[in-house]
């Protein structure tokens, strides 16, 4: 049940027909794992907390640096050199004391991913490297957990939702991350943020959209992004959507799947 304080706090949600009291209670019961408390994770965590998601797990083994503060708005200048999970959890506590934060100051690996992901209802991946994105998407497939995943470049961003353990309306399997991006690019071909730069407000937009998509998945309204890739071009401020489907040749859930566990990701 919602307390009187929560009823007032979430009043603008509760009056929405698509959310209402039942939807707000679903948010309160939800357990969401956020991978990465950086540019995407910062607004994502803040808006999930403001929305009343009951438990937010945060995975990040990094510490706050001065160069982060141009875009990672959940951290502040006094937080420099603190673990990001600590400064993020502290900000959530200031924003909404009804939200529980579970801190995971570690790096996801093939050994711990399934156990960690299995504790949550839905995963939101805002990591900043291809190795983690593929690990998280594969782990969510095996754990049968929905995944909202996003990535940002210098002036572009993408966002999609993955439910490959379920079938589409036509009876085919929903696509995996590997149906969309079969293989990660060769090392060194995509410059890191520190080398290429990034427009600070862009991850704020993409991270907020991630929060919106997670909320829609929990409450259950609107057309989700399963099988659709939302693409954002910050230069022209253009939003486009690309449809994609299950690839029978994909190595995870395809007709001749070769990936049977997370061993492909090493130790």
pLDDT at 182: 86
- 12 pLDDT band, cuts 50/70/90, is very high
pLDDT at 188: 66
pLDDT at 15: 97
- Asked whether residue 69 carries a pLDDT value surpassing 80, the answer given is yes
CATH of 4-265, one of 3.30.300.10, 3.40.50.720, 3.30.540.10, 3.10.20.30: 3.40.50.720
pLDDT tens digits along 80-120: 999 999 999 999 999 999 999 999 999 999 999 999 999 99
pLDDT tens digits along 139-191: 999 999 999 999 999 999 999 999 999 998 888 899 999 999 988 877 766 66
Instruction: Map out the domains of the chain as residue ranges.
Output: 4-265
**Rama region for 222: left / alpha / beta (φ>0; ψ in -120 to 50; rest):** left
- 258 pLDDT band, cuts 50/70/90, is very high
- Residue labelled with tokens 């990672």: 72
Cα-based distances in Å from 44 to 138, 199, 201: 22, 17, 13
156-162 and 147-152 beta bridge pairing: antiparallel
- Residue labelled with tokens 């991946």: 125
Residue 247 in contact with residue 175, Cβ under 8 Å? yes
pLDDT at 267: 66
- Asked whether residue 196 carries a pLDDT value surpassing 80, the answer given is no
pLDDT (mean) for 11-40: 97
Rg (CA), the chain: 18
Cα-based distances in Å from 18 to 103, 180, 195: 31, 30, 43
């Amino acid at each position: 049940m919602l307390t009187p304080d929560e009823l007032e706090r979430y009043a603008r949600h509760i009056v929405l027909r698509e959310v209402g009291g039942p939807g707000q209670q679903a948010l309160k019961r939800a357990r969401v794992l956020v991978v990465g408390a950086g540019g995407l994770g910062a607004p994502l965590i803040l808006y999930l907390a403001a929305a009343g998601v009951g438990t937010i797990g945060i995975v990040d083994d990094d510490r706050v640096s001065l160069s982060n503060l141009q875009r990672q708005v959940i951290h502040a200048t006094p937080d420099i050199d603190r673990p990001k999970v600590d400064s993020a959890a502290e900000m959530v506590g200031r924003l909404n004391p009804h939200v529980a934060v579970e801190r995971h100051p570690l790096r996801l690996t093939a050994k711990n991913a399934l156990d960690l992901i299995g504790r949550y209802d839905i995963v939101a991946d805002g990591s900043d490297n291809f190795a983690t994105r593929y690990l998280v998407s594969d782990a969510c497939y095996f754990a049968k957990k929905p995944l909202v995943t996003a990535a940002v470049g210098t002036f572009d961003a993408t966002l999609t939702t993955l439910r490959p353990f379920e079938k589409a309306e036509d009876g085919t399997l929903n696509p995996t991350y590997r149906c969309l991006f079969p293989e990660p690019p060769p090392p060194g071909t995509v410059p890191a943020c520190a080398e290429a730069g990034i427009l600070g407000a862009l991850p704020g937009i993409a991270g907020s959209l991630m929060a919106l998509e997670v909320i829609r998945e929990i409450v259950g309204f609107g057309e989700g992004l399963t099988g659709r890739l939302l693409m954002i071009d910050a230069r022209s401020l253009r939003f486009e959507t690309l449809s994609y489907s299950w690839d029978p040749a994909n190595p995870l859930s395809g007709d001749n799947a070769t990936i049977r566990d997370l061993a492909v990701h090493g130790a």
